[in-house]
Amino acid sequence: MREEKALFIIFGGTGDLAQRKLYPALFNLYRRGHIQKSFAVIGTARRPWTDEHYREVVADSIRGSVDADFYTEAMVENFADHFYYQSHNVNDTEHYMILKKLAQQLDDEYEIGGNRVFYLAMSPRFFGTIAEHLKTQKLVTDHGYNRVVVEKPFGRDLATATELNQSIEKYFPADSIFRIDHYLGKAMIQNITAIRFGNSIFRNLWNNRYIDNIQITLSESLGVEERAGYYETAGALRDMVQNHILQIVSLLTMNAPVSFNDQDLRQEKISALKSLKVYTPDEVAHNFVRGQYGPGEGVHAYRDEDNIADDSAIETFVAGKLEVENMNFAGVPVYIRTGKRLATKATRIDVIFKKMPTNIFPGVALTNNVLSIDVDPNEEITLYINDKDYDTGFKMKQLPLAYRNQNRDCPEAYEKLLHDLLRGDATNFTHWEEVKYSWQFVDAIRSAWDMETPAFPNYESGSMGPQAADELLARDGKQWFFDP
Ligand code: NAD
């Protein structure tokens, strides 16, 4: 196993993301041997923690999220010994000088060789100032790599995203900035490229001659929970569509990359996002639906949740019909929907193939072939075909040919992404140009919506969203394939 050497500096080391995702992901890399001896982690945040307390927090986060069959207490303790805490205010120059000394000391002690990962697990409003200080206070090394990782949200529209990007690119070269979209680390999302470009049957069918429509569903059964403050400034369009959903759309509709490497793949994703038709306000009204949940069985309406305005116009649901204007996908509607307090939690893609051009079986109904990719919760691929009933006479039924990943120890999204990061592989991170075209598409919807006050709430908690989301397909003579 090749050992990746790195010093991680995690800004926001006491935060939710660090504890729920980053520490377990680093531990899994450790137990699999991707990081071994030559690594150390400095956690920084405002709280005055000691190294001992920090190590306890790290150990607890592992005990709380990694399956007990996969580790021993000794492993957890040895791993946590690599963690150091430095209390820090991101605006205070002196703190960066202290951080630099500690980083140098750990680099020597663990023989890291100058590789640094600066993980910005905190509010994006601090990204610019952190990037500036890292550079001016010389926390970057000249004898290893220096990589910056940033989390979503990356801006709230194209203008703010551009500003944010410039504030980082001023101090770090574009190829050292890794923008996380954790959906790109999910096994079944990564499988899209494998299915499309590793199988000649799909290569030949993956276009407007054979695909009738594509449906993407990212539904949550929970409400806004403790993210009210952020959600009231974002809404489902910014929170889910601009990043996760459009990333999935780009993987499904891009042309074949010349080769499976980060540059070629990103090039095609950028082109796919550039091909999205940016709607006029009238087209937005025709092709997009927004919703906000009302009460349901035992649960409040969005407007009655804590820290939510009584007259909030924030959408907790979006459905839309996208048009991809390239040779292969022109004319194939891509229907998307995402929302909170829906009937079930699911992330899935349903690719609906066209009906047979003619039906030679008198009195027998033929269904569309469908390729379903269940991303969450099951990691399952199903191909639906028409099959003869095993009976006398000649009847047909829809037969699901399914494969479900049963491996309990599959690397989780953050583990895979951190591993890619250590190897310098940016395939599963979002390029700035992708962010740019995504915002361009989303801004057109947002600005059309901002011209009118919506009649909210307009869907019941526990349903699959407003009726208009079904009508969006019905008027095209279609329906949602996934109907929980
Ligand atoms: P959080 O509020 O739990 O943690 C924020 C961290 O920043 C804390 O460690 C806090 O001490 C530190 N901090 C705040 N102000 C500071 C200052 N002036 N100086 C030094 N440290 C300061 O937030 P989180 O949920 O961990 O999210 C972190 C980032 O990741 C955010 O950008 C968020 O949007 C993004 N994100 C989080 C999740 C998640 O699941 N939590 C998912 C996707 C993206």
All domains of the chain in start order, with CATH = 6-151 (3.40.50.720), 184-412+432-474 (3.30.360.10)
Find, among 365, 403, 413, the residue nearest to 383 by Cα: 403
Q: Which residues are annotated as a binding site for NADP(+)?
A: 46, 152
Determine if ligand 1 sits within 6 Å of the CB of residue 151: yes
Tens digits of per-residue pLDDT, 408-433?
A: 899 999 999 999 999 999 999 999 99
Question: In this model, does residue 78 exceed pLDDT 90?
Answer: yes
Q: Return the pLDDT at 1.
A: 83
Question: In this model, does residue 395 exceed pLDDT 90?
Answer: no
Determine if ligand 1 sits within 6 Å of the CB of residue 155: no
Q: Return the pLDDT at 5.
A: 98
C-alpha 136/C-alpha 189 separation (Å) is 38
Least trusted range by pLDDT, from 266-270, 351-355, 386-390: 386-390
Cα of 120 vs centre of ligand 1, distance in Å, is 8
Strand partners of residue 118: 9, 148
Strand ranges (E), 226-304: 288-291
Band of pLDDT at residue 477, cut at 50, 70 and 90: very high
Question: In this model, does residue 393 exceed pLDDT 90?
Answer: no
The model carries a pTM of 0.97
Q: For 62-70, what is the mean pLDDT?
A: 95
Q: Return the pLDDT at 272.
A: 98
Provide, rounded to the nearest whole percent, the portion of the chain with pLDDT above 70: 100
Determine if ligand 1 sits within 6 Å of the CB of residue 131: no
- For the complex shown, is ipTM > 0.90? yes
Cα of 366 vs centre of ligand 1, distance in Å, is 52
Helices 73-80 and 23-31: crossing angle, nearest 10°? 110
Band of pLDDT at residue 31, cut at 50, 70 and 90: very high
Three-state SS at 219: strand
Whether residue 104 contacts residue 138, with contact meaning beta carbons closer than 8 Å, is answered with no
